[in-house]
Amino acid sequence: MKKFSVVIAGGGSTFTPGIVLMLLENLQRFPLRAIKFYDNDKERQETIAKACAIILKEKAPDIEFSYSTDPETVFTDVDFVMAHIRVGKYKMREKDEKIPLKHGVLGQETCGPGGIAYGMRSIGGVLEILSYMEKYSPNAWMLNYSNPAAIVAEATNRLKPNAKILNICDMPIGIETRMATIAGLKSRKEMRVRYYGLNHFGWWNRIEDLQGNDLMPKIRKHVEQHGYITELKDDHTEVSWNDTFAKAKDVYALDKDTLPNTYLKYYLFPDYVVKHSNPNHTRANEVMENREKNVFGACRAIIEKGVSSAGHLEIDEHASYIVDLATAIAFNTQERMLLIVPNNGSINNFDATAMVEIPCIVGSSGPEPLVMGEIPRFQKGLMEQQVAVEKLVVEAWIEKSYQKLWQAITLSKTVPSASVAKAILDDLIEANKDYWPKLS
Ligand code: NAD
Ligand code: G6P
Ligand code: MN
């Protein structure tokens, strides 16, 4: 069986060790000859890489492992690039979250003005990695997790329409795992779903078991009472995530024919989110105090003792989805998966050029989107507003346009007025001057 060479871009990410453990767990179906890390922060990457080197040497000594900040070294002889970079790191995420809150608007990694600010940083970083891949390994595929995936996908589709990049999100996977538990199934793979929307902005409108039995009534009944809170333990057990899973109950109440993505709470209940936010301590702080501290602490312990058992790192089971995708491309499995792809008529009463999240059949030549047909007016109205925001951000980045970015922030459902949008924008420009194109 062919063995693959994989780059993890954003080698210094808190998710990298979990992905490495997950790749090791899946070698039977996705055999590897090389794992390479790339990051533009040498020191941050080194801590993760030195620990992963010890793990790999113990568990899979045949896999060649290396890491570097030099693109040519890393991107030469590669089959897949799995990317999860965060341009500006947590320091800038913290600003994305706290600046809007100063103006009474919610602060979130991928939604509202914070997500827009992050998008303006991320587009260039992701395009740069794509260009390295195309230069040194033109036949490779890039599987991109880097957020905000909606804006990044719009940008890559607009500027590199023929590139072999697939933008993906693990949120539906996490929610579907909870749905499977609610339905009494062992795995989300025992369900077949229909889902439509934008990234972090979508709805399930059919969920069946593999025999074709409708699971929606049972799941609906649970969500109506408890949102997506289940007995199941998972990685996102911090208070803020539990609140998000619980709030799905109120999001669901708006349309009882569908089941919502948790991220819709930011658009439908922004006042609630602001009221429950601490402007001095946001999710970025929570992540730095928990995930970042734990992952880097475990890596340092492993390096110090020279054995993998010296630090506890959690396998990222959600990310096995990225192996499903790589396997589908590598072995033409024709697996059905949710991906962010050009609409092109799949949602037939919606903008053909929009990047939408819908089920696709995936094989060696990439994704073939399924037809989702006509969507209801409520969802269509929300999606039209949000897709306009995302397109305006990408146009603002390309044209370096202050005006278009102001329009984008104004149009976001999370922002009450053009004057508030302008005040937030002016603060964001100042905070992002090392990362954004200079706007005029
Ligand atoms: P992190 O800050 O720990 O890691 C990001 C890494 O990217 C850092 O080591 C940083 O140095 C590196 N980086 C930044 N700019 C770069 C560039 N231009 N080139 C190369 N490397 C660069 O962040 P994290 O919390 O581990 O998250 C990583 C990313 O994965 C984020 O974008 C996050 O939103 C995303 N993510 C997405 C999904 C999804 O559903 N799509 C799921 C989980 C995480
Ligand atoms: C979910 C989303 C991602 C997001 C991630 C991490 O998995 O799909 O897009 O980046 O959560 O969020 P956190 O707040 O824990 O960094
Ligand atoms: Mn996501």
Other C-beta atoms closer than 10 Å to the C-beta of 223 total: 25
Instruction: Give per-residue pLDDT as tens, 315-366.
Output: 998 889 999 999 999 999 999 999 999 999 999 999 999 999 999 999 999 9
For 330-343, give the DSSP string.
HHT--EEEEEEEE-
CA of 255 to the centre of ligand 3 (A): 22
For atom 29 of ligand 1, the residue with the nearest CA is 84
Of the candidates 170, 316, 324, 427, the residue annotated as catalytic is: 170
235 in active site = no
Residue 234 pLDDT exceeds 80: no
The atom number, within ligand 1, closest to the CA of 149 reads 41
The per-residue pLDDT for 361 is 98
pLDDT band at 240 (very low <50, low <70, confident <90, very high): confident
pLDDT band at 413 (very low <50, low <70, confident <90, very high): very high
CA of 235 to the centre of ligand 1 (A): 17
Contacts of residue 259, defined as CB under 8 A and 6 or more positions apart, other chains included, come to 179, 203, 204, 207, 216, 219, 220, 223, 252
Instruction: Give per-residue pLDDT as tens, 374-394.
Output: 999 999 999 999 999 999 999
Please indicate whether residue 84, judged by its CB atom, sits closer than 6 Å to ligand 2: no
CA of 411 to the centre of ligand 1 (A): 27
pLDDT band at 232 (very low <50, low <70, confident <90, very high): low
Contacts of residue 28, defined as CB under 8 A and 6 or more positions apart, other chains included, come to none
Please indicate whether residue 121, judged by its CB atom, sits closer than 6 Å to ligand 1: no
| Helices of type H across 237-374 | 239-253, 265-268, 270-275, 283-287, 293-305, 320-331
Task: Give me the phi and psi of 398, to 5 degrees please.
Answer: -65, -45
The per-residue pLDDT for 177 is 95
Asked whether 235 and 316 are in contact (CB, 8 A), the reply is yes
Secondary structure (3-state) at 77:
coil
Distance set, CA 414 to CA 110, 357, 430 (Å)? 12, 21, 21
Instruction: Give per-residue pLDDT as tens, 102-126.
Output: 999 999 999 999 999 999 999 999 9
Contacts of residue 123, defined as CB under 8 A and 6 or more positions apart, other chains included, come to 151, 152, 155, 394, 397
Please indicate whether residue 358, judged by its CB atom, sits closer than 6 Å to ligand 2: no
CA of 15 to the centre of ligand 1 (A): 8
Give the bridge partners for 83, in sequence order: 9, 144
Query: What is the overall mean pLDDT for the chain?
Result: 97
402 in active site = no
| Helices of type H across 137-193 | 149-159, 171-182
Instruction: Please identify every residue whose CB atom is under 5 Å from ligand 3, which is an ion.
Output: 169, 171
The per-residue pLDDT for 231 is 81
pTM exceeding 0.85: yes
**Percent of the chain having pLDDT more than 90?**
96
For 381-395, give the DSSP string.
HHHHHHHHHHHHHHH
Instruction: Give per-residue pLDDT as tens, 162-220.
Output: 999 999 999 999 999 999 999 999 999 999 999 999 999 999 999 999 999 999 999 99
Cα–Cα distance between 265 and 238 in angstroms, integer?
17
Please indicate whether residue 10, judged by its CB atom, sits closer than 6 Å to ligand 1: yes
The per-residue pLDDT for 233 is 62
The per-residue pLDDT for 1 is 85
What are the tokens at 415? 């922002």
Query: What does the buried/exposed string (b/e) look like for 101-120 if buried means 16 or more CB atoms within 10 Å of the residue's CB?
Result: bebebbbbbbbbbbbbbbbb
Secondary structure (3-state) at 309:
helix
Instruction: Give per-residue pLDDT as tens, 254-303.
Output: 999 999 999 999 999 999 999 999 999 999 999 999 999 999 999 999 99
The residue among 94, 91, 99 whose CA lies nearest residue 429 is 99
For atom 38 of ligand 1, the residue with the nearest CA is 145
CA angle 77, 63, 330 (to 5 degrees): 55
Residue 236 pLDDT exceeds 70: no
CA of 305 to the centre of ligand 3 (A): 35
The per-residue pLDDT for 121 is 98
Strands, E assignment, 70-122: 80-83
Secondary structure (3-state) at 123:
helix
Question: Which ligand is closest in space to the CA of residue 39?
Answer: 1
CA angle 350, 175, 255 (to 5 degrees): 50
Please indicate whether residue 115, judged by its CB atom, sits closer than 6 Å to ligand 1: no
Please indicate whether residue 287, judged by its CB atom, sits closer than 6 Å to ligand 2: yes
